C-alpha cells in the first residue's frame, strides 16, 4: 500500500460489493482521485501534493457501512462521487444477490430424518454467511460480498420430476447455482443436465460413484463435496477387520434396490474380500424397493441366515421403519449390524436406537464430531441446537459443507479477479481445491478435482444418560487416502485389485 502518510486514506465496506468498485472509480476519476480495491478494503489514493488533517467519518450506502479517514472537504468530494455511483446503478448493484437453488426432501419418507435436517443446515449456514457470523476463515459476509438468496425446493418425486425442476430453477428462476441433492438417483439424473444448462452444481449428500466414474467423466459444472459411497464401505470393512476380524463368520446385507443400495453392497463385499477373505458374503442379499416401509420377509430371512454381520445402507424412513421392526423381533440382539448412515436417525430415535452397533456418517459429521473444539464446529453445534432444539446430524453438516465450499470458491475467485467472479472463475477456484470445514479439510482430490475426499469415522453406539443422546465409542478415524481410490482409478477397479495404493 506504500506510506500511509503520503499514499492513501481508506474506507471499508463490510460487504465490499464488487459491482460498486468501477462505478466509484469512474466518479472519483473526474475529481482527480484514483480508487483501488484490495481484499476487504477499498483504497482511495490522494492526488499528488494533496495534504490534509485526518478525521473519521461514517456513512451508509444500502447495507454497507463506510468509514472514511479524511477532511470534511474531501468527504464531500468522495461522498459526491459515491452518490454519483449510486445514481449510475450502484444502489441496484448493492441489492444484487447470489441466488442458490437447494433441493432437499421436504415431503415423504425421506424428509424427517434426512431432508428437513439438511434444509435446516442450509438455512443456518446461509444465515451465518450472510450476517458474517462464522468464525475465520469464513468471517466476512456473503459470497464475494453478495448476499445469498436461498431457494429451497422439494426433491421428492423421482429423477424425471427433478430434471424438470432443475430446468425451471435455471431457466425461469435464474438461479446462479444449485447446492444440495440427497438421493443418488437424483444426482445420477441431474449431472448431465446440469452440464447442459451450464449451472454450477454442488452435490452434497448423494453417494453413488457412478456420477463421475460412469455418467459424467469429464465434469465442468458439477462437483461433489463429500466422499462417495466407496469410502464409506471400505472404512466400514476396515473397522471390522481392526476390531473383530476373528469373529466375523460371514456377512449378509439389506440395501435399497437402486444405485445407492446396489453400489454400497458391492463396495462392501469387494472390500471384505480383501480385508477378511475368510468371511463369505451371503448368496441372497436383500434388495427391497426404495421406501417400501415393510420388511417382515427380509427380517425373517436375515434371522435364519448363518452370517453374523448384517450390512445396510438404508436411510430416511426406510431405516427408521427397519429399526423398529427388527428391534421388535430381537434381530439387533442376534446379529452385529453395520448401518452405513445409521447416525441420521440416532438422535431422532434416542433410546430406541440400537446400542452396540456400527453407525456411520460418511465422514467427520454429526455425533462423531459433537465434541470437536474447532471454532467453526462449535458455532454450528451451538447455533443449530439453539435454533432447532436438537443436535445437528450428518445431513445438516453435509449441506452446510456444500455452502462452505461455495463461499471458499466465490471469495477466492473474487480476490484473484479483483471483482465479483464469473461462474467459470468460481469453478476454477473450487476445482482441485482444499478448503477448511467444520472438522479438518475437504480435498477435491478425485475426478479431475470435482470429487471430494475426507477422512471417515466408525465406532459403536451407546446411550449417554447425562447427555440424553446417542454417542459413539471406540472410534477409529481413517484418513482419506486409506479409504478412497487414487485419482484416475475407478472404484470397482481399485476394489477388485485389492485396494492398491491405500495409505493407512
d(CA 250, CA 279): 5
d(CA 121, CA 115): 10
Question: How is domain 97-228+371-453 classified at the CATH fold level?
Answer: Rossmann fold (3.40.50)
Residue 192's SS3 state is helix
Q: What is the pLDDT of residues 157-203, one digit of tens each?
A: 999 999 999 999 999 999 999 999 999 999 999 999 999 999 999 99
Q: Which three cell numbers stand for residue 153?
A: 425446493
Question: Residue 324: which residues within 8 A CB-CB, separation 6 or more?
Answer: 352
| CA atoms lying within 13 Å on the CB side of residue 504 | 17
Residue 470's SS3 state is strand
239-245 long-range contacts, Cβ below 8 Å, gap at least 24? 239/358, 239/458, 239/476, 239/478, 240/272, 240/275, 240/276, 240/309, 240/338, 240/358, 241/275, 241/276, 242/476, 243/474, 243/476, 244/336, 245/275, 245/276
Sign of CA dihedral 359, 362, 363, 364: negative
- The boundaries of every CATH 3.40.50.2300 domain in the chain are 97-228+371-453, 230-365+456-496
Residue 267's SS3 state is helix
Q: Which three cell numbers stand for residue 211?
A: 456420477
Question: Exposed, middle or buried: residue 305 (CB in 10 Å: 0-12, 13-18, 19+)?
Answer: middle
d(CA 146, CA 63): 11
In this model, does residue 87 exceed pLDDT 70?
no
Residue 153's SS3 state is strand
Question: Exposed, middle or buried: residue 477 (CB in 10 Å: 0-12, 13-18, 19+)?
Answer: middle
Q: Which three cell numbers stand for residue 125?
A: 449456514
Give the model's pLDDT for residue 59: 33
Lowest mean pLDDT among 67-81, 103-117, 123-137, 456-470: 67-81
Q: What is the pLDDT of residues 18-50, one digit of tens each?
A: 445 555 555 555 444 544 443 333 333 444 443
Query: For the residues 316-327, what does the mean pLDDT come to?
Result: 97
Across the chain, which distance is largest between two alpha carbons, in Å? 92
144: left (phi over 0), alpha (psi -120 to 50) or beta: left
Over its C-alpha atoms, the chain yields an Rg (Å, rounded) of: 26
Give the model's pLDDT for residue 89: 38
Check: pTM over 0.85? Answer yes or no: no
Q: 230-365+456-496, which class in CATH? A: alpha beta
330-335 long-range contacts, Cβ below 8 Å, gap at least 24? 331/299, 331/302, 331/303, 332/357, 334/303, 335/302, 335/307, 335/308, 335/309, 335/310
In this model, does residue 72 exceed pLDDT 80?
no
d(CA 478, CA 366): 16
Sign of CA dihedral 292, 296, 299, 304: negative
Residue 76: how many other CB atoms lie within 10 Å: 11
d(CA 459, CA 346): 13
State the helix-helix crossing angle for 259-275 and 184-197, rounded to 10 degrees: 110
Q: What is the mean pLDDT of the chain?
A: 87
Sign of CA dihedral 452, 453, 459, 464: negative
In this model, does residue 85 exceed pLDDT 70?
no
Strand segments (E) across 237-376: 250-253, 280-281, 309-312, 336-339, 358-359
Q: Which three cell numbers stand for residue 39?
A: 481484499
In this model, does residue 4 exceed pLDDT 80?
no
- Alpha carbon 16 to its chain centroid, in Å, reads 25
Q: What is the pLDDT of residues 459-503, one digit of tens each?
A: 999 999 999 999 999 999 999 999 999 999 999 999 999 999 999
In this model, does residue 253 exceed pLDDT 80?
yes
Angle at 479 between CA 477 and CA 485, to 5 degrees: 135
Question: Exposed, middle or buried: residue 45 (CB in 10 Å: 0-12, 13-18, 19+)?
Answer: middle
Strand segments (E) across 279-425: 280-281, 309-312, 336-339, 358-359
Higher-confidence residue: 304 or 33? 304
Query: For the residues 311-315, what does the mean pLDDT come to?
Result: 98
Amino acid at each position: 500500500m506504500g506510506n500511509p502518510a503520503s499514499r492513501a486514506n481508506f474506507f471499508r465496506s463490510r460487504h465490499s460489493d464488487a459491482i460498486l468498485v468501477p462505478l466509484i472509480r469512474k466518479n472519483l476519476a473526474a475529481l482527480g482521485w484514483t480508487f483501488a480495491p484490495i481484499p476487504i478494503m477499498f483504497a482511495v489514493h490522494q492526488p499528488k501534493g494533496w495534504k490534509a488533517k485526518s478525521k473519521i467519518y461514517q456513512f451508509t450506502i444500502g447495507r454497507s457501512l463506510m468509514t472514511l479517514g479524511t477532511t470534511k472537504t474531501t468527504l464531500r468530494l468522495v461522498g459526491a462521487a459515491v452518490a454519483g455511483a449510486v445514481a449510475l446503478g450502484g444502489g441496484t448493484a448493492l441489492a444484487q444477490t447470489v441466488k442458490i437453488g437447494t433441493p432437499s426432501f421436504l415431503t415423504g419418507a425421506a424428509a424427517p430424518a434426512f431432508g428437513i435436517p439438511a434444509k435446516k443446515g442450509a438455512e443456518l449456514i446461509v444465515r451465518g454467511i450472510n450476517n458474517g457470523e462464522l468464525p475465520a476463515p469464513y468471517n466476512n459476509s456473503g459470497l464475494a460480498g453478495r448476499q445469498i438468496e436461498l431457494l429451497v425446493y422439494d426433491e421428492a418425486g423421482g429423477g424425471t420430476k427433478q430434471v424438470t425442476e432443475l430446468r425451471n430453477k435455471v431457466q425461469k428462476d435464474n438461479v446462479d447455482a444449485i447446492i444440495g441433492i440427497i438421493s443418488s438417483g437424483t444426482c445420477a439424473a441431474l449431472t448431465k443436465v446440469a452440464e447442459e444448462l451450464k449451472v454450477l452444481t454442488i452435490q452434497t449428500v448423494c453417494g453413488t460413484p457412478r456420477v463421475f466414474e460412469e455418467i459424467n467423466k469429464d465434469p465442468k459444472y458439477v462437483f461433489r463435496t463429500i466422499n462417495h459411497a466407496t469410502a464409506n464401505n471400505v472404512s466400514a470393512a476396515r473397522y471390522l477387520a481392526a476390531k473383530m476380524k476373528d469373529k466375523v463368520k460371514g456377512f449378509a446385507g439389506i440395501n435399497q434396490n437402486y444405485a445407492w443400495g446396489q453400489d454400497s453392497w458391492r463396495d462392501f463385499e469387494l472390500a471384505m474380500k480383501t480385508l477378511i477373505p475368510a468371511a463369505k458374503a451371503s448368496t441372497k442379499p436383500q434388495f427391497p424397493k426404495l421406501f417400501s416401509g415393510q420388511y417382515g420377509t427380509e427380517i425373517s430371512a436375515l434371522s435364519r441366515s448363518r452370517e453374523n454381520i448384517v450390512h445396510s445402507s438404508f436411510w430416511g424412513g426406510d431405516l427408521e421403519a427397519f429399526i423398529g421392526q427388527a428391534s421388535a423381533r430381537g434381530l439387533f440382539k442376534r446379529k452385529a449390524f453395520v448401518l452405513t448412515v445409521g447416525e441420521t436417525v440416532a438422535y431422532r430415535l434416542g433410546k430406541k436406537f440400537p446400542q452396540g452397533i456400527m453407525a456411520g456418517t460418511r465422514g467427520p459429521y454429526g455425533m462423531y464430531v459433537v465434541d470437536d473444539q474447532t471454532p467453526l464446529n462449535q458455532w454450528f453445534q451451538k447455533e443449530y441446537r439453539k435454533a432447532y432444539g436438537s443436535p445437528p446430524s450428518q445431513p445438516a453438516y453435509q449441506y452446510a459443507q456444500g455452502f462452505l465450499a461455495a463461499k471458499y470458491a466465490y471469495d477466492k475467485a473474487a480476490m484473484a479477479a479483483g471483482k465479483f467472479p464469473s461462474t467459470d472463475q468460481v469453478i476454477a477456484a473450487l476445482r482441485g481445491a482444499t478448503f477448511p470445514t467444520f472438522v479438518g479439510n475437504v480435498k477435491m482430490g478425485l475426478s479431475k478435482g470435482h470429487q471430494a475426499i475426507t477422512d471417515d469415522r466408525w465406532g459403536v453406539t451407546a446411550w449417554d444418560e447425562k447427555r440424553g443422546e446417542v454417542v459413539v465409542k471406540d472410534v477409529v478415524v481413517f484418513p482419506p487416502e486409506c479409504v478412497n481410490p487414487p485419482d484416475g482409478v475407478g472404484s470397482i477397479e481399485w476394489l477388485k485389485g485389492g485396494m492398491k495404493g491405500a495409505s493407512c
